[in-house]
C-alpha cells in the first residue's frame, strides 16, 4: 500500500487530492492547521474507502510546523510515496497595502515550506528509487502581480529545475498551475469572487484528475483546462508592461487563484 501526504488537505484542491487518492486505494496523511477538520476528513476517508488516514496538524507559517512536516517526510519506516504541496493563501490589497509580516508568512508557506518539504521527500524517495511530488502553484505565476504571483513563479521555476536534476532517479516532480477553482481560497483572503466570469471557474476534482494524469505521463508542468493553457501561452509572449497593467486591473476585481 502506498502513502500520499497532502498539505492544505482540509478544503479545496487539497481535499480533492485526498479524496481521489484515497478512492484509488492510497493511505493518506492529511496536513493542515485545523486539527478538528483534519480528523473529521480523515474519518470520512477511512470510512468511505477503507484506507489508513492519519493527520498532521501543522502551521507551515512557523518553523515548528515546517520541521514537523520535514520529519514526517523523512521517516524511512513509514515512507511517503507521493507528496502534494498544496498549502497556500492569498491576501487582499496591493503592494504596501499588505503588512510586511503577512508577505513574509506567504513566502514561508509558498516557498520555504515547499523547498524544505520537497527536499525531505525527494531525498527519501531517491533512496528507494521511486516517488512523486506535486507542487501546487497557480496561473498567477505567469503574470507579474505582487508577492503572491512572485511566490508561485518561484514554485514553477524551482519544481521544473529540480525535476530535471532528478531525471533518471525514479523521482518525478511536477508543478500544477490551476486557474480559478471553487474553493474557500477567495473567501479566506477576503476577495470578491462573484465578479469572476463563470467560464473561468474550474472544478477541483477535475483539476486533480488532470494533475495525476499529467504526473503519470512524466510532465513537469500541468495547466488543467485548454482555456488556461491558452491564457498562460499568451502570458509568456505578451509584453510585461501590458501584463502588469492587466493583472493590476484583474486583482482589483478578482484577486489571485
pLDDT score recorded for residue 228: 82
CB atoms within 10 A of CB 249: 10
Catalytic, out of 148, 158, 180, 185: 148
Rounded mean pLDDT of 37-50?
A: 97
For the chain, percent of residues with pLDDT exceeding 70: 83
Q: What is the pLDDT of residues 53-110, one digit of tens each?
A: 999 999 999 999 999 999 999 999 999 999 999 999 999 889 999 999 999 999 999 9
- pLDDT of 239 > 90? The answer is no
What's the chain's average pLDDT? Answer: 88
pLDDT score recorded for residue 182: 63
- pLDDT of 22 > 80? The answer is yes
pLDDT score recorded for residue 199: 53
Range scoring the smallest mean pLDDT among 26-35, 63-72, 82-91, 248-257: 248-257
Q: What is the pLDDT of residues 112-145, one digit of tens each?
A: 999 999 999 999 999 999 999 999 999 999 988 8
**Domain spans of the chain, in order of start:** 3-253
For the chain, percent of residues with pLDDT exceeding 90: 74
Q: How far is CA 136 from CA 87, 93, 208, 216, 254, in A?
A: 8, 22, 11, 16, 20
Coil vs helix vs strand at 257:
coil
Rounded mean pLDDT of 174-191?
A: 69
Dist CA 80 CA 83 (whole Å): 7
pTM: 0.87
Dist CA 34 CA 181 (whole Å): 21
Q: What cell does 255 get?
A: 484577486
- pLDDT of 184 > 80? The answer is no
- pLDDT of 35 > 90? The answer is yes
- 95 in active site: no
pLDDT score recorded for residue 183: 55
pLDDT score recorded for residue 238: 52
CATH number, span 3-253: 3.40.50.720
Amino acid at each position: 500500500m502506498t502513502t500520499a501526504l497532502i498539505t492544505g488537505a482540509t478544503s479545496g484542491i487539497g481535499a480533492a487530492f485526498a479524496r481521489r487518492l484515497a478512492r484509488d486505494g492510497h493511505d493518506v496523511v492529511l496536513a493542515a492547521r485545523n486539527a478538528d477538520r483534519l480528523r473529521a476528513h480523515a474519518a470520512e476517508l477511512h470510512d468511505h474507502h477503507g484506507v489508513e488516514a492519519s493527520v498532521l496538524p501543522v502551521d507551515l507559517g512557523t518553523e515548528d510546523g515546517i520541521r514537523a512536516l520535514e520529519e514526517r517526510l523523512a521517516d524511512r519506516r513509514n515512507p511517503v510515496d507521493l507528496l502534494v504541496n498544496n498549502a497556500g493563501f492569498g491576501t487582499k490589497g496591493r503592494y504596501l497595502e499588505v503588512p510586511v509580516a503577512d508577505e513574509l508568512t506567504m513566502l514561508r508557506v509558498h516557498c520555504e515550506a515547499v523547498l524544505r518539504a520537497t527536499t525531505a521527500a525527494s531525498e527519501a524517495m531517491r533512496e528507494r528509487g521511486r516517488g512523486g511530488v506535486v507542487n501546487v502553484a497557480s496561473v498567477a505565476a505567469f503574470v507579474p502581480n505582487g508577492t503572491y504571483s512572485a511566490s508561485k513563479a518561484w514554485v514553477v521555476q524551482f519544481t521544473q529545475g529540480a525535476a530535471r536534476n532528478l531525471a533518471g532517479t525514479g523521482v518525478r516532480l511536477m508543478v500544477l498551475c490551476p486557474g480559478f477553482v471553487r474553493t474557500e481560497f477567495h473567501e479566506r483572503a477576503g476577495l470578491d469572487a462573484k465578479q469572476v466570469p463563470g467560464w473561468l471557474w474550474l472544478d477541483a476534482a477535475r483539476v486533480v484528475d488532470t494533475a495525476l494524469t499529467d504526473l503519470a505521463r512524466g510532465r513537469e508542468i500541468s495547466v488543467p483546462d485548454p482555456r488556461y493553457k491558452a491564457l498562460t501561452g499568451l502570458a509568456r509572449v505578451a509584453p510585461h508592461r501590458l501584463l502588469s497593467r492587466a493583472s493590476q486591473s484583474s486583482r482589483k476585481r478578482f484577486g489571485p487563484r
